[in-house]
Amino acid sequence: MQIDLKGRTALVTGSSAGIGTAIATALARAGARVIVNGRDETRARETAAHITELTGNHHVHAIAADVATAQGADVITAAESEVDILVNNAGVFAPTPVFEVSDGEWRRYFEVNVLSGIRLARHYVPRMTAKGWGRVVFISSDSAVLPPTEMVHYGMTKTAQLAVSRGMAQAVAGTGVTVNSVLAGPTLTPGVEQFITSMIGEDVPFDEAERRFITEERPTSLIRRLIRPEEIANLVLYLSSDHSSATTGGALRVDGGVIPTLIP
């Protein structure tokens, strides 16, 4: 399957690290004009430059903005009034006992993980439908289906993304625009590495910490390891292409088999 995204513009939120960087790189490698986004301008620019170096695509740019705020969303939409591909990847996670999560934290998680994508889709999707083509992808999680006890507030936002993306897909039926969610499983990113290290212990070599985390905390994993960011990016690349025109309103799994059900 040859995926050619030349002539398409893609915005990937939260793409100055981790899964977002891998997605932005895959889209750039396929020829898209890519907007890298992060809150820190220096880091976003450095990531964009690194992607250009890796891919040879000189149409990779950075916009520093906090998409969890209305002001941040306005910065992005003012700089890029239209995009063809919107990947809502920005997100936060951290373990907190559910009865200790404050009102403010519940709101913050919703604003970062859910409302950021809603705001951008509200701006960009009508413009996509006017052109008759567009792709929107929400990066959700296996936690949407299996809420982790240590991060119920995070799981709540990932479940909300599934409802939002399905509803948006229904709202743009027949327009040439697709909206999907990707259920990403536990993935080796700097944030997850720090999370696992804090759980297992800093004195444990990370290879062993990874093995123990999967065995003890995610025992249903069928690949018995952390997913690599590029493996998430491969699915997002497909969903961003013409080849995925009949795939919409879905929750597609790249979870390493963690979810022990046939259908999410």
Within this chain, do residues 162 and 218 fall inside the same structural domain, yes or no? no
pLDDT category at 263 given cuts 50, 70, 90 is confident
Tell me the CATH number at 24. 3.40.50.720
**Same domain flag for 85 and 50:** yes
Eight-state DSSP code of residue 21: H
What local confidence, expressed as pLDDT, does residue 33 receive?
Answer: 98
> In this structure, is residue 31 part of a structural domain?
yes
Residue 259 lies in a domain: no
The reply to whether 2 falls in a domain is: no
Q: For residue 197, what pLDDT is reported?
A: 93
Same domain as 199, residue 116 = no
Question: Is 150 exposed, middle or buried, given 0-12, 13-18 or 19+ CB atoms closer than 10 A?
Answer: middle
Percent of the chain with pLDDT over 70: 100
Does one domain contain both 117 and 199?
A: no
Average pLDDT of the chain is 97
261 within some domain: no
Query: What pLDDT digit, counting tens, does each position of 138-158 carry?
Result: 999 999 999 999 999 999 999
Cβ neighbours, 10 Å, residue 147: 18
Query: How many angstroms from the chain centroid is the CA of residue 80?
Result: 19
Domain range spanning residue 28? 9-185+230-252
Distance CA 217, CA 59 (A): 41
Collapsing DSSP to helix, strand or coil, 64 comes out as: strand
pLDDT for the residue numbered 237: 98
Q: What is the pLDDT of residues 64-104, one digit of tens each?
A: 999 999 999 999 999 999 999 999 999 999 999 999 999 99
Integer-rounded Cα Rg, in Å, for the chain is 18
CA 224 to chain CA centroid, Å, is 22
Let me know whether 192 and 119 are in one domain. no
* Residue 257 forms part of a structural domain: no
Give a yes or no: residue 82 inside a domain: yes
* Confidence class for position 39, pLDDT limits 50, 70, 90: very high
Q: Where does the pLDDT of residue 32 fall: very low under 50, low under 70, confident under 90, or very high at 90 and above?
A: very high
User: Could you report the per-residue pLDDT of 154-192, keeping only the tens digit for each?
Assistant: 999 999 999 999 999 999 999 999 999 999 999 999 989
**Does residue 146 fall inside a structural domain?**
yes
In a domain, 153, yes or no: yes
The burial of 88, by beta-carbon neighbours within 10 Å (0-12 exposed, 13-18 middle, 19 or more buried), is given as buried
- Averaged pLDDT for residues 193-200: 91
Q: Are residues 52 and 159 in the same domain?
A: yes
If asked whether residues 215 and 119 sit together in one domain, one would say no
Residues belonging to the active site: 154
Do 101 and 167 share a domain, yes or no? yes
Q: Are residues 85 and 96 in the same domain?
A: yes
The answer on 114 and 237 residing in a single domain is yes
What is the pLDDT, as a whole number, of residue 264?
Answer: 79
Q: In terms of DSSP bridges, do strands 60-64 and 85-88 run parallel, antiparallel, or are they unpaired?
A: unpaired
Q: Same domain for 167 and 204? A: no
Residue 52's pLDDT is 98
Spatial CA neighbour of 66 closest among 42, 35, 36, 90: 90
Do 215 and 99 reside in the same domain of the chain?
Answer: no
Q: Which residues contact 133 (CB under 8 A, 6 or more apart)?
A: 84, 176, 177
Q: How many domains does the chain have?
A: 2
